[in-house]
């Protein structure tokens, strides 16, 4: 339901606005961030109510959702402020950069956890194409 409304909203903005209008893209960002926040919170709520693993933080999906949650919550008001006064928002763009760094670190942590989970579930340490006979 929410995804359909968002796609409709984007389509209306692009068809009603100028093709060269950068303001249209800046208007989409806060709505997109709110929808991503809602989906992240719903996913985390579902994971906490019905955990597939004993510790929720041991799954890579948790860390990826947390990365999206950190980025969207950290930059939401920055995007809203950029609609009002873009030149003033440029002064606060360091918030976006910090949120990018944190997001990238959390996604890297998710890949590391996924690698460790895969390595522990696959006890064979030999790679078939590189084994010497």
Helix 60-84 to helix 22-49 angle, to the nearest 10 degrees? 150
Q: What is the pLDDT of residue 101?
A: 96
Q: Provide the whole-model pTM.
A: 0.71
Q: What is the pLDDT of residue 2?
A: 73
The rounded Cα 130 to chain-centroid distance in angstroms is 37
Name the percent of the chain in helix, strand, coil, to the closest 5: 80, 0, 20
Q: What is the pLDDT of residue 68?
A: 93
* Closest by CA position to 56, among listed 16, 110, 108, 4: 110
DSSP-derived secondary structure for 92-130: TTHHHHHHHHHHHHHHHHHHHHHHHHHHHH------GGG
Q: What is the pLDDT of residue 67?
A: 95
Mean pLDDT by 10 residues, the chain (133 residues): 78 68 68 86 86 76 92 85 74 88 95 81 58 52
């Amino acid at each position: 339901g929410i995804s359909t409304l968002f796609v409709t909203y984007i389509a209306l903005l692009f068809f009603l606005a100028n093709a060269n209008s950068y303001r249209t893209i800046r208007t989409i960002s806060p709505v997109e961030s709110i929808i991503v926040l809602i989906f992240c919170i719903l996913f985390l709520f579902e994971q906490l109510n019905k955990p597939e693993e004993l510790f929720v933080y041991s799954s890579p999906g948790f860390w990826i959702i947390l990365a999206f949650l950190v980025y969207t919550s950290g930059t939401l008001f920055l995007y809203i402020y950029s609609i009002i006064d873009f030149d003033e928002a440029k002064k606060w763009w360091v918030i976006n950069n910090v949120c990018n760094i944190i997001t990238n670190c959390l996604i890297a942590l998710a890949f590391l956890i996924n690698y460790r989970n895969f390595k522990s579930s696959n006890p064979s340490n030999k790679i078939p194409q590189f084994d010497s006979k």
